[in-house]
Structure 1
């Protein structure tokens, strides 16, 4: 993947699930809702001054959301940040740049 370009959709890995778990409290605060479970399904990533992840998450029945998560470079010592999210997604909605 070229720096700045968004990569192909890939199945979620345990590492991606850990990233989702870290930003779950931010998602709950921003969406004003509690989630029993956020299961990462698939993702794309974009290399910038760190990495932006676009992750499709499943959180019950047929409910999905797309999360935009920024992971800063390690040497910055900054935490991961939920930049944006989209709700009312379906299993078939492709996770894209937003």
Structure 2
């Protein structure tokens, strides 16, 4: 993958779910809410001085509600939520923002 370009969309892996789980408290604090469902569905990566993950996360069991997250990961630091978009659905494209 070329530096700066996002990868193709891939199905979420257990590693991506773990990254989403690590930034979940950051999102909950920013939005002043608690998400009972937080299931990573898809992701893309971007090579920078570390990795940016663009992750589509389902946040509802009964509705088609998702959030898109941009998470920066640079070892040995913990993942950091750098941006997010609410009011997404499972069919919305996972495009950089």
Query: Could you say whether these structures have the same fold, taking a TM-score greater than 0.5 normalized by the shorter chain as the test?
Result: yes
Task: Quote the residue 2:9 is aligned against.
Answer: 9
Which string of whole-angstrom CA distances, capped at 9 and with x for unpartnered residues, describes residues 35-67 of structure 1? 012100001000000000000000112111100
| CA distance in 2 between partners of 1:11 and 1:31 (Å) | 26
Aligned position for 1:84: 83
Instruction: Count residues with an aligned counterpart.
Output: 95
The answer to whether residue 29 in structure 2 is matched with residue 29 in structure 1 is: yes
CA–CA distance in structure 2, aligned partners of residues 15 and 58 of structure 1: 16
Aligned pair partner of 1:64 in 63, 66, 76: 66
Q: Which runs of 5+ in 2 are unaligned?
A: none
Q: Per-residue deviation at 1:13?
A: 0.4
- Tell me, what secondary structure is at the counterpart of 1:7? coil
1:12-53 per-residue CA deviation (whole Å, 9 max, x = no partner) reads: 000000000000100101111110121000010000000000
Where in structure 1 do 4 or more consecutive aligned residues deviate above 4 Å? none
Q: 3-state DSSP class of the match of 1:70?
A: strand
TM-score by length of 1: 0.93
TM-score, normalising length from structure 2? 0.94
